[in-house]
Amino acid sequence: MNLKEPQLAFEFSHSNTDNLMIGTEFDAELANQLAEIESYNKHLYRPNTYLHKWWARRCGTTFRAILKDLVPNQSQRNFYSPGGLEGQIILDPMIGGGTTIHEAIRMGASVVGADIDPIPILQARATLTSVPVSILKNTFSRMISNLRRELGMYFQTTCPHCQLHCDLRFVLYAVRRVCECGNQMLLVDSLILRHNPDDSLVRIDSESFAIYDGESLISKPCSQPDIRLYEKNTGVCLCGRKPKDDLDIPYYQRYVPVAVAGECATHGFFFSSIQEMDLQMIRQADTRRSQLDLTCMDFAVLPGPKSTDLLRRSIHTYLDLFSSRQLLVFSAATRELGSLEPAQRLKFALLFSTATEFNSMLCGYKGAGKNRPGAIRHTFAQHGYSFPDTALENNPLASSRSSGTLQNLFESRLVRGTLWAKTPVERSLRAGKAVEVPIVGEIDSGEEVHVFAELIGQNRRYPLLQGSSIRLDLPDQCIDHIVTDPPYFDSVQYGDLAAFFRVWLRYWLPTEVQWSYDLNDTAVNQQLSENEQYEAVLTGIFSECYRVLKQPAGRLIFTFHHWNPKGWASLTNALKFAGFILHSRYVIHSENPSSVHIVNQNSLHHDVILVLGSHENRQLHTWPQPTKIDKADSYTFCKQCGGALGYLLNTPLTRDEMTQTWTELFSDSRESG
């Protein structure tokens, strides 16, 4: 039977404990419409969930729609109705960015959240713990005043128009590379600094390093450079060879400042060439850097799939990824955080950790683009480490609300998130436009408990379990439903990337969580075979889910997509071994196709939502036998993969036969991630 045909209607088994409607009324059309809008600006739709970086978050509207479908009372299943899960206990064994735990808490459920990585645990605890905005503002005002008073002098520059001192916005650096013949070259991504509204250009001269606005000279550097500036695509030595990084010096010293952006009270935003004051501030910060009480071993880069990108560039400590000025700020944050009570210390530690992503020498400059004047490319814009030719040193202490400053992050992450948590807002599509709809009666906060018995019959309580979800400290059949988002099959090493943040959070919060964990317990570890560990870990997690899930009414629901048949085979084998069958599946929009990390990558921008239950009524859940998976488009592909999984879970195929079947189904399809 052709899998493009409409999905068959299925009967559900019912018992005294099985609500007649659970898992059968999912409004895929509404969820898809909302996800298509949310995917462009997820952080604006769920600001309280976005205090700290985590990767591959799914749309909050999608998970709200999933959870609404599990509401026992049919009158409360409308997407915009408040609550509905009061008294229910939801489990997310892989909380990641925290989408499930936040959506379920809002709807009144108590939630068990588990993750092997400490950062998801910290973020969930910080964002679900309520602290009044007035207290947060007073604390931040005191902290930022202290930091500016101590370190603000290092972030001063000179206005080229009036010669007065003013705040630095950022500094642009060119990378210095050395050829085997001994010649040195400076490279930048682009000589253009900004497109003006009249289409004239602010640019830097490649020989003199002077900065021009159109044909008008803005400023000249304090000294004549003895080396030329090249755009990266033209940077070839006279001997014909490409120069290489100087790996014998720390990473931050491989860059040379070539332009300054500042903010003058009289003349506004400006670009300027490097002046003596700029060099003096850098030298003074470099001197003070050597006096910091930061042990390189505490910030050591350990071998891993992504950290290898650092090690092969001879970057052995995360400290080398920061300019001296930035390092002074993050070191001084330790003192400020130490004076706070626990809830605030946690929130502000995550805020400072978030700021490291916008204030490292891995940040790039995308402000040369006509549509993005002055914009910063943050450290993980590509969902991995990238090493720009034009590095951007941001000023975290700037008083403006420019991108990546502590002031901006405080307002956009902490204040906005805290206010939204008190009065959550959804969007409703009316006449083709998204209109805000307050959800009166819901709040995005709860009470952390540490004993499972304290969840029974209660609302908005949550324990956070750090460790592998293969072994959960939970009773048998105690969970009403499990809603989660498993890790990607391969290529995405979020745990390894998160070490960039973990070293700082461990420094600021040494006793808050367990900082070390075994990579062998993670689902994705490329040190082992491509699918061996993924399948083994998911099998253990799904088996544990089956044990704690109430039968037969309980559902395991999660989202998934992948181009690789091995990923689908591993998933199917894990679910089959655990004892699950597929009840239903829906396809939903998941990714903004223009996102930097997936654009032009043949990436899927849909997820299939898989609704699974126990195998007890296998005969009532029949799926048509698939032939080939059609790769015509993302939606069709995900829909047919979901249907194929449903069919294969009902077969007696062995593990090897299952893998072979998926390979045959994908025989004419893409197999790259």
Q: What is the DSSP string of 634-671?
A: HHHHHHHHHHHHHHHHTS---HHHHHHHHHHHTTTS--
Structure tokens given for 222: 């304090």
Single-letter residue type at 456 = I
Nearest C-alpha neighbor of 122 from the set 549, 509, 596: 509
Position of tokens 């490279």? 187
Cα torsion angle, 604, 609, 614, 616, sign = negative
Q: What is the DSSP letter of 28?
A: H
Is residue 31 within a helix (H) or strand (E), and if so which, with residue range?
helix 28-38
Q: What angle do CA 75, 48, 479 make, to 5 degrees?
A: 50
Compute the distance between CA of residue 497 and CA of residue 307 in angstroms, rounded to an integer.
7
Grouping H, G, I as helix, E, B as strand and the rest as coil, residue 90 is: strand
Q: Quick one: pLDDT at residue 123?
A: 97
Structure tokens given for 588: 């939903």
Q: Is the peptide bond before 243 cis (omega within 30 degrees of 0)?
A: no
Nearest C-alpha neighbor of 132 from the set 441, 438, 344: 344
Q: Are 492 and 525 in contact (CB under 8 A)?
A: no
How buried is residue 422: exposed, middle or buried, by Cβ count under 10 Å (0-12/13-18/19+)?
A: middle
Q: Are 40 and 434 in contact (CB under 8 A)?
A: no
The beta strands (E) that lie in 57-134 are given as: 89-92, 110-115
Q: What is the dihedral of CA 202, 206, 209, 214, to 10 degrees?
A: -20
Which tens digits make up the pLDDT trace of 534-575? 898 899 999 999 999 999 999 999 999 888 899 999 999 999
Interhelix angle 342-358/324-338, rounded to 10 degrees, is 170
Question: Residues near 408 by Cβ (< 8 Å), separated by ≥ 6?
Answer: 400, 401, 402
Nearest C-alpha neighbor of 362 from the set 644, 575, 173: 173
Grouping H, G, I as helix, E, B as strand and the rest as coil, residue 567 is: helix
In this structure, the strands spanning 216-219 and 229-231 are unpaired
Q: Are 604 and 629 in contact (CB under 8 A)?
A: no
Q: What is the DSSP letter of 6?
A: P
Topology classification of domain 28-129+416-665: Rossmann fold (3.40.50)
Mean pLDDT per 10-residue segment, the chain (673 residues): 30 32 71 89 90 90 96 94 97 96 98 96 98 98 98 96 94 93 90 88 94 94 88 77 90 97 93 96 96 90 91 97 98 96 98 98 86 79 92 94 92 97 94 90 97 96 96 97 84 79 97 82 50 85 97 94 90 96 92 49 80 77 88 90 96 94 81 39
CA distance to 322, 334, 545, per residue, from 554 (Å): 49, 45, 10
CA distance to 344, 629, 632, 659, 664, per residue, from 668 (Å): 54, 8, 11, 16, 8
Structure tokens given for 420: 């939204």
Structure tokens given for 501: 């943040």
CA distance to 307, 415, 510, per residue, from 222 (Å): 38, 42, 45
Residue ranges of the domains in the chain?
A: 28-129+416-665, 155-338+357-404
Position of tokens 């997509």? 561
Interhelix angle 565-578/655-665, rounded to 10 degrees, is 140
Structure tokens given for 345: 């210390």
Compute the distance between CA of residue 50 and CA of residue 73 in angstroms, rounded to an integer.
31
